[in-house]
Structure 1
Amino acid sequence: MSNFSANKSGMSTQHQRRQSMPAPTPISTNVTPTIIATPPSATGTGILGGRFHSRHPMLLHGGPTNRFTAAFESLLSYIPRRRRQIRYPLVLGLALYFFLVYLYFQDAATWTAIAGFKIKNMSFNWDFKRCSYRKDPMLFVQDSSSILVIWEMNCKMAEMDLVWTPVEAAGSQQSQQQLHNDGREANIASTTINVLDKTHVVYTATISGIPAVNTNITYSIRPPRILSHLIRTYTFAHLPNPPLLKDREIARFGAISDNQCEVKQFFKVLKAMTEHHKVDYLIHAGDAVQEYDNLDNWQTDFASPLSYFKIGQTTPLIYTHGNHDYDVHGNYPYTGKRTWHAYTVAGVRFIVLDSNLDRREQDAWLEEELKSEECKKAWFRVVLVHISPYTQYWEKVAWEAKGEKHWGSFIRDRYVPLFQQHNVDLVISGHQHNYMRGQDDHMVYTIIGGAGGQLDEEQVEDYPAWVGGKLKFRHHYVLMKITGDRRLIWEAYDADCGSRLDAFVLHSRTEV
């Protein structure tokens, strides 16, 4: 037999053997499967879902379903499958982004305004802007018949006057039109120019001889005719004497202090005050800036916020100097040179003192002022001094080691006895960054240093004058109202939430 035949025969035998093997038995489909219990997260009922049960043992946890988990799962389902591993960081990142956007728009006006202050100041510093106003006009009370007007430009113009006129209620339009004309029938206040540098030129003019009766004053800054676009016109109320209105308010004073270097919080304070109240005068108890010699501080941290709310131009300031806005040379280009003075407004005799100057000249002046007929006849005698006679909260290290406990001690040692002797009703101070109200006999002490600076919460002294009074560690402002029935109503407000922190009423002790 040939090899081919043998091979063929062997293959045939093998094929036959395969055909003779029995067919495999089919698998039965009637077998009951074994059920393995799985946690809810592996079956897709938990917050993580079944698709994660094989990822990591730490993911094998879950809980009852609710609307939140269903919504969360629905949100995650939009993320492509290939990016499932990063979907949680992605969702958290998106949530954080939208939260920050929400916070931004909650405070968008504040941030936008502050950015505008900074940009405007930089454009002036870099000399990008043509001749214009760096600081809009600001008003400072000089005495019962004089208001100081200060503004600043980035150029020097010799021919720039200030014209003003009393405005009657019926003739206000006529008076304003008169100011827009050549000003020959209006009062003209001469202007003094102080060049600080080539982009800081300060103009000062005094509105003097204001009528003794309560009236509105319209004033206008009048540049050369070729620069008529720089004309600025404003109106403010001046109330030297209280009208005979027994059941009505006759004047409102806003009061703030120590906004230094915190323009964001200062902006919020001014916004809260202007949104809820209309004030005739603004009391500032000092420390308007952090660094007196820093011209940018005066621009962005003080003048620009006041101009934004039209306070500086239409609300005269009753101002005292603090330790941060103290000029050793006594120039004070932005606030006026006088450091101690007095005047009567709406029945209140304001006595403005300088706690930076421990001088016998101020002592003698104060004693004569307290004896004056103007002081005795006023409904209320209010002292305004930056450092309180009784500073109780400060930084302990600075208070002891740096000797700051001695700042303004002459106010307590020499002036408080004079206050008590001559029936001073109220002492308003700042310096300490919080709100306090206390009383010593018939005299009330207040500290209103909450217009922006970081709050002081370390107690360094314990004076009896504050026992039984009020203490609040909040940024705030004060509204002081004078009524025709000879009352002084004091209200302190939280600048962040608007709630009233404190209130009291003083009745005039002056005989009619």
Structure 2
Amino acid sequence: MSGTSSASKRLSTQHRRQSMPAPAPISTSGNQPTIIATPPSATGSGPLGSRFHPRSQHPMMLHGGPSNRISAWLDQVLSFVPRRRRQIRYPIAIALGLYLFLSYFYFKGVSTWVTVAGFKYKNMAFNWDVKRCSYRKDPMLFVKDSNSVLVIWEMNCKLPEMDLTWVPAADSVDFEDSRSAETTFELLDKTHIVYTATLTGMPTQNTNITYSINPPRMLSHLYRTYTFSHLPNPPSLDTREIARFGAISDNQCEVSQFMKVLKAMTEHHKVDYLIHAGDAVQDYDSLDNWQTDFSSPMSHYRIGQTTPLIYTHGNHDYDSKGLYPYTGARKWHAYTLAGVRFIVLDSNINSSQQDQWLEEELKSEDSRKAWFRLIVVHISPYTQYWEKDAWENKGEKNWGSFVRTKYVPLFQQYGVDLVISGHQHNYMRGQDGHMVYTIIGGAGGQLDEEQVEDYPVWQNGKIKIRHHYVLMKITGDRRLIWETYDADCGSRLDAFVLHSRTDA
């Protein structure tokens, strides 16, 4: 009996020693604290620990201690997932994020297609003559000379009483009252009536111009007013003011891509003028092309109404009759803006009249005194990429060849600084001595990838087979800064700087 009692006592004492070890003594010497062992019950180990803490959690977690905020947020978001399957919450979150990311780009593309479809639907409604008197094409501005701008718009109804007035900005001292511009109209058919007005005698100093289209009082909903920059003089040397020119070409056929180019340019930059090097439409005689492929996208981003165009005609928008109701009946012309002498040529016309005019223009005082002499011509003197079969067997290698054989010697003789062209659907930059050549045909048309020539001017330059646009800046310290941007991803494809060679 006593033996049994003694054995029980020994077992009880042994069990207590195993379950409840004595705490380690706290040292009173030295600077380091003594580490106290955690009781087994706190970690969930041992016979008692597993009973009270089946999930083996730390005590601080059991009492709302520190936790991972992201994990807690995911637990809340994924509360619909059974707790025993929470280990798959991160794959679910990644899949959900990827789905939202792809959905964004999908609906972004869909929104473009919906907008383009809206252009076509609106055009059909006009063609069917089911819309009330309204604007088919919003006003579009074209630079006519250094102090004149041409305004062109189209209605689906004839309103002879329509007039246009304009006024400089409030800080202008030359004009106190608004001025009227004579308005004329041309009837293309019963639903295409083109109106034209010219703002002449604009101030000789840099300012803003506000113009208004005034319909008859009974049609007040047709009233429109817009403002644009007028920069006939070089930027100020003191303030280093910057004049900005956008530049595009060859958007024909690809409306959705053209929309991407315009969106990228307008979202990231404010431009005062827009250079268009031709081929705005695929078929010049198609009134629908002019509506849905050019005018509507330009109006969607309010570019044509507030940004005067420096425009040259390409082979697709060439009018053999020379009427050009939508762009102005001009073949070759020149003007000075922000210190740059723009000389616009027509590569569709191999004419002795144009030859003579060009040489006289390059000799002129306006050209010689400008900070930069810049040529805009649709077909480049040095087209290098095209379709091989059309180039060799259909005679397209001879298109615009007179620009290279006749005009390039004049460019070199009279110190042209920059030649801007399109026609070829990609981006190129080359150089011949001091003169820089660029091709900017990437505003929408299918890109050209087949090389058909190998001209030395491009050897040390840049070639980018991408849709793109250009930003050209003129600064007060007599620099021309050129930047080319990818229209799809926004990255900068190329950049260079020209310094004026004209004596101050």
Question: Do both share a fold (TM > 0.5)?
Answer: yes
Q: Distance in 1 between matches of 2:261 and 2:135?
A: 25
Gaps of 5+ in 1: 1-64, 73-95, 176-184
Partner of 1:140: 142
State the Cα distance separating 1:316 from its structure 2 match: 0.2
8 A contact 1:493–1:499 mirrored in 2: yes
Q: Which amino acid aligns with 2:352?
A: R
| Whole-angstrom distance in 2 between the partners of 1:461 and 1:390 | 8
Take 1:259 and 1:212, find their aligned partners in 2: how far apart are those partners?
34
> Which residue of structure 1 lines up, in the alignment, with residue 154 of structure 2?
152
Contact 1:339 1:353 (8 Å CA) reproduced: yes
Aligned to 1:375: 367
Return the index of the structure with the highest Cα Rg.
1
**What is the CA–CA distance in structure 1 between the aligned matches of 2:420 and 2:380, rounded to whole Å?**
8
Correspondence for 2:385: 393
Q: Write the deviation string for residues 414-437 of structure 1: whole angstroms up to 9, x where unpaired.
A: 000000000000000000000000
Q: For this pair of structures, how many residues does the alignment match?
A: 417
> What is the aligned counterpart of 1:501 among 472, 493, 497?
493
- What is the rounded CA distance, in whole Å, between the counterparts of 1:247 and 1:438 in structure 2? 32
Stretch deviating more after TM superposition (197-206 or 220-229):
220-229
1:420-477 CA distances to partner (integer Å, 9 max, x unpaired)?
0000000000000000000000000000000000000000000001010000000000
Match of 2:117 among 91, 115, 118: 115
2:381 counterpart SS class:
coil
Distance 2:91 2:400 in 1: 64
Q: Distance in 2 between matches of 1:235 and 1:169?
A: 14
User: Take 2:304 and 2:104, find their aligned partners in 1: how far apart are those partners?
Assistant: 32
Describe the shift of the 1:67–1:464 C-alpha distance in structure 2 as closer, same or farther (beyond 3 A).
Answer: farther
- Cα gap change, 1:144/1:159 in structure 2, threshold over 3 Å: closer, same or farther? same
Report the secondary structure of 2:305's partner residue.
Answer: helix
In 2, Cα distance between equivalents of 1:208 and 1:169: 19
Q: State the AA in 1 paired with 2:193.
A: V
Q: 1:247 to 1:161 in 2, by over 3 A?
A: closer
Shift of 1:66: 12
Whether 1:104 aligns to 2:106 is yes
Quick one: structure 1 residues 438 and 71, their matched pair in 2 at CA, closer, same or farther if it must change by over 3 Å?
A: closer
- Change in 2 beyond 3 A, CA 1:403/1:66: farther
**Equivalent residue number for residue 236 of structure 1:** 228
Is 1:331 the counterpart of 2:333 in the alignment?
A: no
1:470 paired residue number: 462
Q: Structure 2: where are the runs of 5+ without partners? A: 1-84, 93-97
CA distances 1:147-174 after superposition (whole Å, capped 9, x unpaired): 0000000001111111111112599xx9
Counting only pairs closer than 5 Å after superposition, residues 59-70 of structure 1 correspond to structure 2 as none
Work out whether residues 246 and 483 of structure 1, in 8 Å CA contact, stay in contact via their aligned partners in 2.
no
Contact 1:247/1:483 (8 A) holds in 2: no
AA matched with 1:386: H
Aligned counterparts of 1:125 and 1:483: Cα–Cα separation in 2: 46
1:21 is matched with which residue?
none
Which secondary structure state, in structure 2, belongs to the residue aligned with residue 271 of structure 1? helix
List, as ranges, runs of 4+ consecutive aligned residues in structure 1 with deviation greater than 4 Å.
65-72, 96-103
Displacement of 1:249: 3.6
1:319 corresponds in structure 2 to 311
After TM superposition, give the deviation of residue 67 of structure 1 in Å. 6.5
Give the CA deviation at 1:192.
1.2
Which amino acid is the alignment partner of residue 257 of structure 1? S
Q: Which residue of structure 2 aligns with residue 269 of structure 1? A: 261
- AA paired with 1:284? H
Counterpart contact for 1:393–1:432, Cα < 8 Å: yes
**What residue in structure 2 maps to residue 129 of structure 1?**
131
How many angstroms apart in 2 are the aligned matches of 1:295 and 1:220? Answer: 26
Inter-partner Cα distance in structure 1 for 2:496 and 2:99: 46
2:113 partner SS: helix
- Contact 1:242 1:250 (C-alpha < 8 Å) held by counterparts: no
- Superposed, which structure 2 residues align to 1:203-218 within 5 Å? 203-218=195-210
Distance 1:98 1:439, change over 3 A: closer
- SS of corresponding position for 2:221: helix
SS in 1 for 2:383: coil
Give a deviation string over 1:264-292, Cα, whole Å, max 9, x none: 00000000000000000000000000000
RMSD, matched Cα: 2.4
Q: CA deviation at 1:102?
A: 5.1
Q: How many Å separate the matches in 2 of 1:341 and 1:246?
A: 31
Q: Is the 8 A contact 2:172 2:207 kept in 1?
A: no
- Say which SS state the counterpart of residue 255 (structure 1) adopts: strand
Task: State the 1:104 CA deviation.
Answer: 3.2
1:190 paired residue number: 182
Shift of 1:215: 1.1
Alpha-carbon distance in 1 for matches of 2:259, 2:155: 23
- Partner-residue secondary structure (3-state), 2:136: strand
**Paired position in structure 1 for 2:55:** none
- Residue 181 of structure 2 aligns with an amino acid whose one-letter code is A
Alignment of 1:338-417 (within 5 A): 338-417=330-409
* Contact kept in structure 1, 2:483 and 2:496, CA below 8 Å: yes
Aligned residues of 2:235 and 2:243 also touching (Cα < 8 A):
no
Deviation at 1:246, TM superposition (A): 4.4
Identity %: 76
CA contact (8 A) 1:493 1:500 kept: yes
Deviations 1:29-60 (A, max 9, x none): xxxxxxxxxxxxxxxxxxxxxxxxxxxxxxxx
Q: What is the letter of the counterpart of residue 193 of structure 1? A: F
CA distance in 1: counterparts of 2:224 and 2:442, whole angstroms: 32
